[in-house]
Structure 1
Amino acid sequence: MWPDHWPRTPREIAAATADALAAAHDESAQAFDDAVVVLIGLPYEQVTAVHAGMIRELLEELHPDGLAGEDVQAVLERCVRSGLRWLPSLELDAVVAVLTGALGVSDPDAEGPRIRAEQYLAAGLLVVADLVAARRVAPEPYLRRAVSEIERAETQEMP
């Protein structure tokens, strides 16, 4: 399903992310948790970069004239409402951190609640699942582009 030229880690990130998004779509907490466990075992920075890339692209497509605070608030509300129905361990602070991080508006030096990696990854996946549903598209093309963009950036020589 994933390009053969991708190294093992990006393929694993893509596969586990796709599994988690399918589980979120089906509201299957056990399958979702299983996919998050796989993602926790992979390089955190790469996983979060893939998810953030997907979030940014989906937000740009959903809001081509610009993203307002109300738009971000609507995503936050939808994610929390739908997520808490089937994923009671969802942390509101993690969803906020994912959205602000993906948009590049978080302050890395600010003191805030300590969010565990699994909470952050789960929140990121729920945001992606929400945006995919709002856009009414399949997540795989976004996942491919996010992984490919990271691959391109990592192989690009810095001046």
Structure 2
Amino acid sequence: MTATEAVDAARARDAGAYRPAVERLATVDRAGLVLGGVVRLLLEEGHPDGLDGDDVRQVLERCVRAAATWWPEVDPHVLLVLLAGALGVYDPGDDDDPPDPAAVARHAPLLVADLLAVTDRPFADYLSAAFAEVARTELHD
């Protein structure tokens, strides 16, 4: 699976494997939606009492610092948009320069890999839950 390959490459900090994986991920419909769901689930699990601004800043800083050591193309703005989107507080219509799907595909696995580092559950569990959530949402729309 493309998302799994991208997240695995991010977790391994393998830029050679990451680039083609995120390029494939960018061609998958709903990739950003599903990985956004994974991010939301990870944030909820990692912060059961909710997140405040300091928590968001810590997640963002930790992810940028970790990714920059092996993926210098990391863009903090895109990661912040992904975090805000996962939390339901981002409206692309309010953004003068929203990230394109390719930028989302290049950054979502970085955020997922960073958040997975603090959990003991496998990525597949979160991915399955996110797919189920997307399916439920589409069924009710």
Q: TM-score under structure 1 normalisation?
A: 0.82
What RMSD, in angstroms, separates the aligned Cα atoms of the two structures? 1.5
Query: Aligned partners of 2:13, 2:85: CA distance in 1, in Å?
Result: 25
Q: Comparing both chains, which one has the higher relative contact order based on Cα–Cα distances under 8 Å and sequence gaps of 6 or more? A: 2
Instruction: Look up the match of 2:74.
Output: 90
Is 1:136 equivalent to 2:120 in the alignment?
yes
Query: Aligned partners of 2:98, 2:51: CA distance in 1, in Å?
Result: 27
Query: What are the superposed Cα offsets for residues 37-85 of structure 1, whole Å, 9 maximum, x if unpaired?
Result: 1111111xx1111011111111111111111111111110011001110
Query: Aligned partners of 2:67, 2:119: CA distance in 1, in Å?
Result: 18
- Secondary structure of 1:134's match? coil
May I ask how many residue pairs the two structures share in their alignment?
A: 141
Instruction: Look up the match of 2:139.
Output: 155
Instruction: Look up the match of 2:90.
Output: 106
Instruction: Look up the match of 1:23.
Output: 9
Query: Aligned partners of 2:126, 2:98: CA distance in 1, in Å?
Result: 29
Query: Aligned partners of 2:34, 2:82: CA distance in 1, in Å?
Result: 12
Larger Rg: 1 or 2? 1
**Contact kept? 1:51, 1:124, Cα under 8 Å:** yes
1:114 shift after superposition? 4.7
Q: List, as ranges, runs of 4+ consecutive aligned residues in structure 1 with deviation greater than 4 Å.
A: none
- Secondary structure of 1:97's match? helix
Kindly report which structure 2 residues correspond to 1:30-69, keeping only aligned pairs within 5 A, or say none: 30-43=16-29, 46-69=30-53
One-letter amino acid matched to 2:50: G
- Secondary structure of 1:136's match? coil
Query: Aligned partners of 1:107, 1:151: CA distance in 2, in Å?
Result: 22
Q: TM-score under structure 2 normalisation?
A: 0.91
Change in CA separation of 1:41 and 1:111 when aligned onto 2, cut-off 3 Å: closer
**Contact kept? 1:93, 1:113, Cα under 8 Å:** no
- The sequence identity of aligned pairs, in percent, is 37
Where structure 2 has 5 or more consecutive residues not aligned to the other structure, the ranges are none
1:112 shift after superposition? 3.5
One-letter amino acid matched to 1:102: A
Query: Aligned partners of 1:29, 1:49: CA distance in 2, in Å?
Result: 23
Instruction: Look up the match of 1:5.
Output: none
